[in-house]
Amino acid sequence: MMRLKRFLAEREAFIGIVIFGVLVMLADICSDLDYHSIAALLRVLGVIALILLFALDFWLRFRRQPLAVPLLFTTETNREVARRMFENFTETQRLSVKPLEQTTALRRDDLIIRLNHNPRNQTDPANPEHWRRAWQELLREWGDEVDRRLKRELPVGETICYHIHPHLWLPLAFAMGASVGLRRSIVLYHLQQDKFFRVLDLTNPRCLFDEPEQSVPKPEKVPEDFVSLPEAGKLILHLCISDRHDVPEFKAHSEHGNAANAGLVYRKDLDPNENWLGYVQWLYREARPLLGRYEQVDICLVCPSAIAFALGMAFSRTPKVTVCDYQNGRYVPIFSLAEIEKHLPFD
């Protein structure tokens, strides 16, 4: 289907001229030979063929089915292990790479984005410069090597939807989500017990701001009343979805004594067979009123990486936010969303 769509998009006028021209010439020959009924039939067939061509082109251009682009972000250093993970991802989720390979210069390995500069492998992993460099590396591979090439090489009007498994450290997953924001359609996947699950459908990214379904409860607030939070220049906000941790750990942040501390908590592990959208919607909805009260906001995450990616999308365009990494029992601020605002990606 993709090949047909591109073929028509590139050669529509030529095909129309050939079809109509050949049939008209045949009709003229038949008229010269006094086969007037056959000539009339050929002319009618030419008109019908043109109508069918334009109708097919219109249908292919405007049918609402974006091209699925599987994408794996991973901290895995071994290329073969990363390839096997990608193969498992695409096969189990029935995400074919062939349409991309047939219509663009992209190849399978281009869709496997491995983190070469791993901040946690550095001697000073708390240095924000390592995280900024890692973010730049991932963003360059996605934005320049994949997204721009797709926009350049796909037929005019073709839409895409990225199907992403963010196998990344939580701050980087959050940063990548904040980088793309609402500017691309995204579907997010979670890996659990060697199985992939489709957990967040953000093909319409603005659904992040819709009202959550009634079946999804509100998160627990810590403290119970955010109105009682002290006035301060900085807020340290803990967003947690887990039953394996004593959360939120306010004292794990070095500045907890000089800042307001708040937590939004789901004390449970999410079922990967469920839709996780409501949890992201509630976390953002409950956190949003706090953002306007403070000049700076540090976010500490305890959640699946797909949730972190989606939260980054929701909090995008909020330069006062800095995301933290958990290192040796301490939360360390390592990446500010103000970095993204210097040169907005995917714009």
pLDDT given for residue 59 in this prediction: 60
* Reported pTM: 0.84
**Residue 135 structure tokens:** 């973010």
Dist. CA 30–CA 124, nearest whole Å: 84
pLDDT in tens, 23-49: 677 777 877 777 778 877 877 877 787
Distance CA 124, CA 135 (A): 17
The CA dihedral of 71, 241, 263, 181, to the nearest 10 degrees, is 20
Strand partners, 335: 323
Share of the chain above pLDDT 70, in %: 90
- Topology adopted by domain 218-341: Rossmann fold (3.40.50)
Task: Give the closest residue to 284 by CA, choosing from 207, 201, 171, 203.
Answer: 207
Of the pLDDT bands very low, low, confident and very high (cuts 50, 70, 90), residue 9 is very low
Here the tokens at position 168 are: 């990344």
Nearest to 177 by CA among 151, 200, 153: 200
Q: Which residue has the higher pLDDT, 98 or 265?
A: 265
In tens, the pLDDT along 166-218 reads: 999 999 999 999 999 999 999 999 999 999 999 999 999 999 999 999 999 99
Token pair for 95: 């995400």
Which tokens is 206 given? Answer: 């603005």
Q: Is the model's pLDDT at 63 over the cut of 60?
A: no
Yes or no: say if 270 and 300 are a contact pair by the CB < 8 Å rule. Answer: no
Q: What are phi and psi of 122, to 5 degrees?
A: -85, 160
| pLDDT surpassing 70 at residue 256 | yes
Domain ranges of the chain: 2-62, 67-205, 218-341
pLDDT the model gives residue 8: 45
